[in-house]
Chain A
Amino acid sequence: MTDPTWLVLGALVATTFLLKGASALVMGDRALPTWFPRFVEYLTPTLLAVLVVTQLLGAPGGDGLPLDARVTGFAAALVAWRLRAPVPLVILVAAAATAVARALA
Chain B
Amino acid sequence: MSATEPARGEGRPSPRPPAPTVDRRAAYRAGARAALPFTVAIFAFGVLANGSGFTALAATTMSGLVFVGSSQFAAVSVMAGGGGWVAAAVAGTLLNLRYLVMGFAILPALRGGRARRAVEAQLVIEDSWAIASDADGRFDRVRLLSSGAVLWLGWAAGTLAGALGPITAVDITRYGLDAVSPVLFFLLLAPHLGEAGQAHRSRRRAAALAATGSALALTAVGLPDTAIAAACLIALVATWRAR
Contact = CB atoms under 8 A, between A and B. Distances in A.
Interface string B104-137: 1111101001110111111010100010010011
A102 B174 contact: yes
A52 B136 CA distance: 21
B73 A24 contact: no
Given A15-B93, A49-B189, A51-B185, A21 B66 contact: no
Given A54-B227, A87-B3, A41 B180 contact: no
A92 to B, nearest CB: 9
Interface stretch (B19-27, B52-60, B154-162): B52-60
Interface in A51-84: 51-58, 60-61, 63-65, 69-70, 73-74, 77-78, 81
B105 to A, nearest CB: 5
A46 B124 CA distance: 17
A16 B99 contact: yes
Nearest to B86: A11
A40 interface: yes
Contacts, number: 290
Contacts of A102: 173-174, 176
Contacts of B234: 42, 46
A32 B104 contact: yes
A82 to B, nearest CB: 11
Interface string A1-44: 00111111101110111011111110111001001111111111
Given A15-B92, A46-B208, 4 more contacts: A21-B118, A35-B243, A64-B219, A99-B176
Interface of B: 1-4, 37, 40, 53-55, 58, 61-62, 65-68, 71-73, 75-77, 79, 81, 84-86, 88-89, 92-93, 96-108, 110, 113-115, 117-122, 124, 126, 130, 133, 136-138, 173-190, 192-193, 200, 203-205, 207-212, 215-216, 219-222, 224, 227-228, 230-232, 234-236, 238-239, 242-243
